[in-house]
Amino acid sequence: PEVVEGPGFMPECFAPWSADTKYFQWEAKEPPYKIALVNGFVGNIWRIQMIQTAKAFAEQDEIAPLIEEFKIVSTGTDAAAQLGAIEDFINQGYDAIITIAVSPTGFDRVIRLADRNNVVLVPFDNVLDTDKVMMVNEDQRAMGEMSANWLIEHVGNSGKILEVRGVPGNSVDRDRHEAFREIMEADGNDFEIIEVVGNWAPGDSQKVTADAISVHGQFDGIYTQGGTNGSVQALMDAGHPFVPVAGEAENGYRKQIAKHSDEGLKGLSFGQSPGLVAISMKAAIEALQGNKLPQLISVPVPVVDYTSIKDGENFWSELPDDFFTPNEFPPCGVNITAPEIMAKTKDDVK
Amino acid sequence: MEDGAMAAEPAYLEMRGISKNYGGVHALTDVDFAARRGSIHAVLGENGAGKSTLIKIVSGVVAPTRGTMSLDGAPATFGSPLEANAAGIVCIFQELSLMPDLSVADNISITDPPRNRLGLIDTRAQRRRAEELLARVGCEDIDPRERLKNLPLSRRQMVEIAKALGRNPKLLILDEATSALTSADVKKVYSILHALREEGLCLLYISHRMHEIEELADTASVFRNGRHIATFAKGAHSDDEIVQMMIGRDWSNVFPKKPERTAAPEPALEVSNLNWAPTLKRLSLSVGKGEIVGIGGLDGQGQRELLLALFGVLRGVSGSIKVNGAPVAIGSPAAAKRPENAIALIPEDRKTEGLLLPMSVAENITIAALPWLTKGLVIDRSAEAEKIREMVARMQIKVGDLDAPVATLSGGNQQKVVIAKWLLTGARIILLNDPTRGIDVGTKQEIYQLLRSLAAEGAAILFYTTDYDELIGCCDRVLILYDGAIVRELAGTEITETNIVASSLNLPGEGAAA
Amino acid sequence: MSLRIEPPILIGLVFIALILATGTAYTMVTQGTATFISPPYLLQQLHFGAFLGITAAGMMMVILLGHIDLSVPWTLAASAMVGTAVGGVAGDFTALGVGLAVGLINGIGVAVLRVPSMIFTLGVNTVLLGLMVMLTGGFAPQNAATPLMTFLGSLRTYGVPHSVVVWALVSASLIFVLNRTPLGRYMYAIGNEEAAAYLSGVRTRLVIIAAFMICSLCAAVAGLCLAGYSARAFQAMGDQYLLPSIAAVVLGGTNILGGQGKYSGTVVGVVLIVLLQSMLSVMQMDEAYRQMIYGAVIILMLLIYSRGRAQTA
Amino acid sequence: MKTLRLILTQNLGLILAVVLFVALYSIYVALHPNWGLNVVLQNGNETLALIFVGMAQTMAVLVGGLDLSVGPLMTLTNCFGSHVMAGTGGSVVAGVVACLALGSACGCLNGCIIVYGRIQPIIATLATGAIYIGLALLLRPTPGGAIDGDLAWAFTNDINELGMTYGWWGDLGLFGKIPAQPIFLALVVVLVWAPFKRSATGRGAYAIGSNAHAAYMSGVRIDRSKIAAFTLAGFFAACAGVYLTMQMGSGNADAPQAAEYTLRSIATVVIGGTSLYGGSGGVIGTIFGALVLRSISFIFRVVPGDSTFGFVASPLLQPFFEGLILLFAVSLGAARVFRVRNRLSLFT
Ligand SMILES: Nc1ncnc2c1ncn2[C@@H]1O[C@H](COP(=O)(O)OP(=O)(O)OP(=O)(O)O)[C@@H](O)[C@H]1O
Ligand SMILES: Nc1ncnc2c1ncn2[C@@H]1O[C@H](COP(=O)(O)OP(=O)(O)OP(=O)(O)O)[C@@H](O)[C@H]1O
Ligand SMILES: [Mg+2]
Ligand SMILES: [Mg+2]
């Protein structure tokens, strides 16, 4: 793509990451397009929800005519297979490829190939450590900072905090953790932070939280990167009094907040949305039509806390716990609510 | 000891004060032993006498608890078979040491393959070498490229002998190396051994077949209970004397008397038109209650398959089988052992087919009879213990601790465990596949007597053996198999060595004209 | 049958004592309490241990045969997920049924088709993953724990977690099966020499199938408990249980090639692994060091064990 | 004739793997809209690391064991490589050598623990695997490290690109279109595997796998062969790590990926016809095993969504069908079971 000056197309949807984010423009192609989504691992609900959202979005009235073929493959946690799949789709003559990168590095080769073949490559969620490709994400550091600030607000400037981290070695874990620590450990604060690894999985989070409680006694606040409902479950099992918790956007966690906020479970729930996939697809389609877009598109972090939580709006008491609540982004025309995706395909399968 | 005449030439292998203990078991106690170049030295003794232990010490497999060893006058200790090999000691072990997945050629040159300039194995030269060695033992029929596992046991033993020859031994040990060979092959081996003796090799030969010892040995040493009893030159003692030395008691009349029969016995097992292409062809036979029927013939004529077919192991068998007059379909050993069939098989290879080596003697004895020792879902332990005690006593199994692994028993006692296991199921039809292989004369005699007494109690016994003496001495009738079919049935006085040999080669025997 | 403590069990117990001592030293220094030897902490570890313990108990059955079951992670998850999706008491039974069905398929693959268990169960694991992706994607299934699951997985009576009781019951049944029934004897026999067992008239295929069904059933029970503990079933909930369950069985002295091993060893192995993981987590060790220490402890134990064996042999 | 029969019967597993690969890959080629050498190149890129890891596993399987540390070892050398292979020219070569040495050393350590510690390979390597992942995390707490982009490009491409990137040669026509991956693979097979297989040590490895006791009794140097096999496993795993480093241009201590490679490596070995009981087979079969495994996932990318079989590739059914095909592929050998006429032969 060509690097161009801003402002870009539909800025209310495709917001640049920062003021110095550059803009890309591709030669316009005639629709309809062939688009592929190269997912990595599939065995968790976030990914499944993401795939469902992608399928639903591709079938929306305004999008469907623009797409000739939409293909989704999942390659597992194997980087070579993911790179291979992307390259394969480039070779097959696809126009755009959306992907959740298995690794933040190592995409140089497919980026080169995509550029040679004028293919729009859009990593999202787990993005790459490069500025040569258009990407869509929420600000992970912002989530860490937000959690820290919120905890300070509700706990005060000192106390014992439990930090439950995500998958070791992952850049999202690193970003959230570092931003969180920077604020918590800034001058004027005096926190004792106990750190355990919960792998973003509810089971793991629950186990390490329970362990930490039994060894370290009482905490004044908790920050869990993922599997938050597990951490809260551990709190309740241990008979630990409810304390402020900053965590992810699992439906189960929001149910817990709704139920126990008056008992002291003041909760902050921010989330990485599976709906990012729809914005990424939309970005790809706009780019193929020749529109200018920021290199790094920032999607606002959907966040609620115990004061703003509402059944049927930002969580659903009848849906499963692992369901990720935030899914819609009205400024982008992405209006697929969580219950919709599930309901829709249920009919599909029949 | 009567070795005064031979003192002139110094011993090549000399062992002094050798003892070997396995925990509390004294396998060898204070043994002095010597063997000379240019002679074949037989090592004799009952099962468990310590023969294998002795040669395992010589060949570096186990270290003696006490004692010293010297080779050609120089002290020698070997930490592994590899070191013993390097010193020119080559051993053919009782359990063959061949690799089933490798080719025959690979097996023969396993440690010292011919190499090319790059130091890599020269496969062509290796194949030629294998061909030469196989030719030397008279086995031109074996393709050196064939995987070893595709050969029958007797051929494997020949490969093992070829392999040993290829290593240019100075001291060659054969531990029951001919136990599975046919007499033709045995003859070939004899001539090779004689040639080696002429070349000045020192040969140790272990076998339970007395006539082999007679034909081969220059000197013999007898062991009993881990002790060296005597060493003497060929001809110094009669067979009976030697056997008495071995078993330490009076020994006469190996085979029990055969019963006189007036009428044909009531048939227990009737087989007609049994086919299992391509090995078994239209076999019909019957075994009566109280009868011991021998199966003879050259090795590999379908005897093994016949027994397996009757025991439900083979798939695709056609023909009819009747037990006690009723037609049966036996699809598995589990079906064979059911009370209405009550068939047992003493398999060919006790180590892999008969026994669960790491499990205890007790567990091995009851493994087949468990369904009868179970109350509800639970094993009735007191009944089990009772039955085990009974069996150990009845079979005279020499065992210290019933909970010790069966692997620690000597070969003969292991075989008794296999038989005990099946007797416990109350089997009425007993199939035996060469049950006395590698078993000493004393134990053999016990087994013959046991078979006869089982027959007397009404069991029907079908008995395959490679030993003509057993066919002659033990069986009421003998069926000779040739190429998967029964070519001859011998009964009563027809059972003679000449008849057996002739029929095995499918020639008319002496009684045929009559 | 003797009451003599087997060397691997003894070594395991020594290591458990060492871990507890190290953990206690750590908490004494950092917060002045002896948490690691306090009953609530130990009970809690037993509570976690129960999930691994039940899984490992099943795993031991197939390892005794000289086989292995790599489908345990998704058998566990699939049982729990299908169970919660159906819901109620029917759900509980369905969960167990899923376990039995998977075990039957594994057993048939290994015993009848004679595909090596290592690879067949790996394939079954992948298929189960695929099925669960299908299920979740297509039907938005309920995943809240059923009342029985909650009862088994998270409730306690007199402070004793019910999961621990379930583990004890599973253990008692398996000890019974292994020591008192023909099935147990046959399992050891097949693990030692399948051909000899077959020729002894043992219905080896049925025994192998039974062992795999026990293994998968244990995974399903662990799934029930774990779903109760977490209040719901979720994908990948079994992933943490595969390698630790194998390690626990082997650390407990069961021969990975089959035929030898005592059940009590597996219990010791499970406790050892759970405490080790907990200690490393509590000490806030870096993931890098945790992995290395975990690996090193396993090797050290096995080395000591094999030294001991070499000396007695 | 006899020779042919022997070759056929002794290589049934390999032949089956080749047939399976040809069948699956033909489907892919037939459905691919733009199949050509660049697609082969991409396929090779995707498969090479898996092939190497599978080769590593083959070594352990040959001696009758399993190596659960091949994935972690690949990851460790990848992380190590992302440090030492950065730079240009000679230092990169030195880095590659260092990686291969590290992998071999770790493999040798596995071998020593197994041989001198008398621990079953599967459990020893389960433990060392954890240690290697720990080390990898130590080297690369988060993914990163930059290998020279040109290098990464040139060495994961075809001969033309290699020459043109560095100005060594120009367009060599059709010859220049030969992808680099088969060349690397051929080099490793010819220079490392073939000599090993033809050496006494290598044949000792087969002997151990076939019957360890008999091999010992025959005077095979058991310890040496076993350690050599595991060292070579480490070496092959390092080859995978090095290639992954060139491909990714960086290091990533990705434990799930390591686990996935380890498990898949077992599948490649089995599909490739090497017996898990040891003693027969070899890396050539494994290469095809890996190709079969990859071809399965290739197909999902080209199955047209609107065709009769389109549902197979529908995103939420795809993992299921992938598993099913894998299960089918590994069960193919079961055909033997139904042809077996002597049930005793089932047990060996
Ligand atoms: N590994 C072992 N552990 C314990 N005891 C053993 C072991 N090997 C042999 N023995 C015992 O040592 C004694 C001698 O056994 P050995 O194998 O030398 O007898 P043998 O004379 O070769 O008998 P056979 O003719 O049956 O082969 C036997 O009592 C046997 O039980
Ligand atoms: N490995 C085994 N372990 C236990 N039982 C076996 C085994 N193999 C076969 N059997 C038993 O043998 C019976 C028949 O076996 P199988 O199904 O293999 O035979 P088949 O292929 O149908 O042959 P046929 O056509 O001769 O019946 C089964 O009922 C089973 O109990
Ligand atoms: Mg012996
Ligand atoms: Mg049948």
**So what's the pLDDT on residue B9?**
67
B158, B163, B164, B165: CA torsion to nearest 10: 90
Superfamily of domain B4-247: P-loop containing nucleotide triphosphate hydrolases (3.40.50.300)
Residues from chain C contacting residue D138 (CB–CB below 8 Å): 288-289
Q: Taking the domain C7-23+43-307, which CATH number applies? A: 1.10.3470
CA distance A208 to A210: 5
Cβ D347–C109 below 8 Å, yes or no? Answer: no
Least confident window among A239-253, B473-487, C33-47, D21-35? C33-47
Cα B404–B409–B410 angle (5° rounding)? 170
The residue type of A57 is: F
A146-157 b/e with 16+ CB inside 10 Å = b? bbbebbbebbee
**What tens digit of pLDDT does each residue of B127-170 get?**
999 999 999 888 888 899 999 988 887 888 889 999 999 988 99
- Whether B396 shows a pLDDT value over 90: the answer reads no
**So what's the pLDDT on residue B3?**
46
Residue identifier of the C-alpha nearest atom 5 of ligand 1: B408
**What tens digit of pLDDT does each residue of B435-448 get?**
888 787 788 888 99
Task: Kindly give the residue spans of alpha helices, DSSP state H, lying in B113-252.
Answer: 123-136, 153-165, 183-198, 210-216, 239-247
Task: Of C304, C313, C255, C312, give the one whose Cα is nearest residue C15.
Answer: C304
Across the interface, which of D198, D209, D219 has its CB nearest the CB of B81?
D219
How many helices (H) and strands (E) would you count in chain D?
A: 17, 0
- Whether B251 shows a pLDDT value over 60: the answer reads no
Element (H, E) at B338: none
Residue C71 beta carbon below 6 angstroms from any ligand 2 atom: no
Cβ D2–B143 below 8 Å, yes or no? Answer: yes
- Band the pLDDT of D209: cuts 50, 70, 90: very high
- Whether B5 shows a pLDDT value over 60: the answer reads no
DSSP D201: H
Task: Of A146, A202, A195, A170, give the one whose Cα is nearest residue A41.
Answer: A170
- Whether B213 shows a pLDDT value over 90: the answer reads no
Task: Of A214, A200, A202, give the one whose Cα is nearest residue A256.
Answer: A202
* Average pLDDT score over residue span B413-421: 92
Cβ D266–C243 below 8 Å, yes or no? Answer: no
The domain locations on chain C are 7-23+43-307
- Band the pLDDT of B107: cuts 50, 70, 90: very high
**Quick one: C10 exposed, middle or buried, by C-beta within 10 A (0-12, 13-18, 19+)?**
middle
Residue identifier of the C-alpha nearest atom 11 of ligand 1: B27
D343 min Cα distance to partner chain B (Å): 6
Q: What does the block give as tokens for D254?
A: 């990705």
- Whether B342 shows a pLDDT value over 70: the answer reads yes
Query: Beta-carbon neighbour count of residue D32 at 10 Å?
Result: 17
ipTM, 2 decimals?
Answer: 0.86
Give the global pTM.
0.88
CA distance B370 to A248: 59
Least confident window among A198-207, A335-344, C89-98? A335-344
The residue type of A311 is: D
Cβ D257–A77 below 8 Å, yes or no? Answer: yes
- Band the pLDDT of A317: cuts 50, 70, 90: confident
- Whether A347 shows a pLDDT value over 50: the answer reads no
Q: Domains in chain D, start-ordered, CATH in brackets?
A: 43-290 (1.10.3470)
Task: Put the strands of the sheet holding B267-276 in their side by side order.
Answer: B280-288, B267-276, B318-323, B326-328
**What tens digit of pLDDT does each residue of D120-169 get?**
899 999 999 999 999 999 999 888 888 887 888 888 888 888 888 778 87
Q: What is the length of chain A?
A: 350
Angle between helices A202-216 and C39-64 (to 10 degrees): 140
- Band the pLDDT of B401: cuts 50, 70, 90: confident
Identical fold between B4-247 and B267-342+429-435+455-514? yes
Protein fold of B267-342+429-435+455-514: Rossmann fold (3.40.50)
Residues from chain D contacting residue B305 (CB–CB below 8 Å): 342
Q: Give percent of chain C with pLDDT exceeding 90.
A: 59
Query: Beta-carbon neighbour count of residue B375 at 10 Å?
Result: 9
- Band the pLDDT of D268: cuts 50, 70, 90: very high
**So what's the pLDDT on residue A342?**
66
Omega within 30 of 0 (cis) for the link into A7 = yes
Q: What does the block give as tokens for D22?
A: 């040809």
Average pLDDT value for chain C: 90
Average pLDDT value for chain A: 87
Query: Beta-carbon neighbour count of residue B10 at 10 Å?
Result: 11
Q: Give percent of chain A with pLDDT exceeding 90.
A: 33
Q: Which residues pair with A296 in a beta bridge?
A: A135
Under 8 Å CB-to-CB from A66, ≥6 apart: which residues?
A: A31, A32, A33, A285
Under 8 Å CB-to-CB from B297, ≥6 apart: which residues?
A: B303, B480, B481, B482, B487, B503, B504
Residue B64 beta carbon below 6 angstroms from any ligand 1 atom: no
- Whether B327 shows a pLDDT value over 70: the answer reads yes
Q: How far is CA B493 from the centre of its chain?
A: 27
DSSP D332: G
**What tens digit of pLDDT does each residue of A128-174 get?**
888 889 999 888 888 999 999 999 989 888 899 999 998 877 778 88
* Average pLDDT score over residue span B23-32: 85
The residue type of C150 is: T
Q: What does the block give as tokens for C75?
A: 């058998």
A30 min Cα distance to partner chain C (Å): 33
The domain locations on chain B are 4-247, 267-342+429-435+455-514, 350-426
The residue type of A255 is: K
Task: Report CA(B350)–ligand 3 centroid distance (Å).
Answer: 14
* Average pLDDT score over residue span A57-79: 89
- Band the pLDDT of A345: cuts 50, 70, 90: very low
CA distance B26 to A118: 84
CA distance D267 to D329: 9
- Whether A184 shows a pLDDT value over 70: the answer reads yes
Q: Which of B315, B317, B341 to mutate to test the pocket of ligand 2 (most atoms within 8 A of CB)?
A: B315
**Quick one: B372 exposed, middle or buried, by C-beta within 10 A (0-12, 13-18, 19+)?**
middle
- Band the pLDDT of B4: cuts 50, 70, 90: very low
- Whether B353 shows a pLDDT value over 80: the answer reads yes
Q: What is the CA radius of gyration of chain A?
A: 21
CA distance D207 to B460: 43
Cα distances (angstroms) measured from residue D148 to each of D85, D212, D247: 9, 47, 11
Task: Of A235, A215, A216, give the one whose Cα is nearest residue A224.
Answer: A235
Q: Any idea which ligand is nearest the CA of B437? A: 1
Phi, psi of A140 (to 5 degrees): -70, -40
Task: Report CA(C214)–ligand 4 centroid distance (Å).
Answer: 25
**So what's the pLDDT on residue A315?**
86
Judge contact between B452 and B459, C-beta under 8 A.
Answer: no
**So what's the pLDDT on residue B8?**
53
* Average pLDDT score over residue span A238-263: 89
CA distance B196 to B217: 13
Q: Give percent of chain D with pLDDT exceeding 70.
A: 99
- Whether B514 shows a pLDDT value over 60: the answer reads no
Q: Are strands A296-298 and A15-16 parallel, antiparallel or unpaired?
A: antiparallel
**So what's the pLDDT on residue A128?**
86
Cα distances (angstroms) measured from residue C184 to each of C60, C177, C208: 12, 5, 11
**So what's the pLDDT on residue A350?**
30
Residues from chain D contacting residue B177 (CB–CB below 8 Å): none
- Whether B512 shows a pLDDT value over 50: the answer reads no
CA distance C145 to C229: 9
Judge contact between B220 and B2, C-beta under 8 A.
Answer: no
Under 8 Å CB-to-CB from C285, ≥6 apart: which residues?
A: C293
Under 8 Å CB-to-CB from B399, ≥6 apart: which residues?
A: B361, B392, B409, B413
Q: What does the block give as tokens for A292?
A: 């200018």
**What tens digit of pLDDT does each residue of D84-124 get?**
988 777 788 899 999 999 999 999 999 999 999 989 899 99
Residues from chain A contacting residue C133 (CB–CB below 8 Å): 42-43, 48
**So what's the pLDDT on residue B99?**
92
Atom of ligand 2 nearest to the CA of D338: 21
**So what's the pLDDT on residue B513?**
38
**So what's the pLDDT on residue A285?**
93
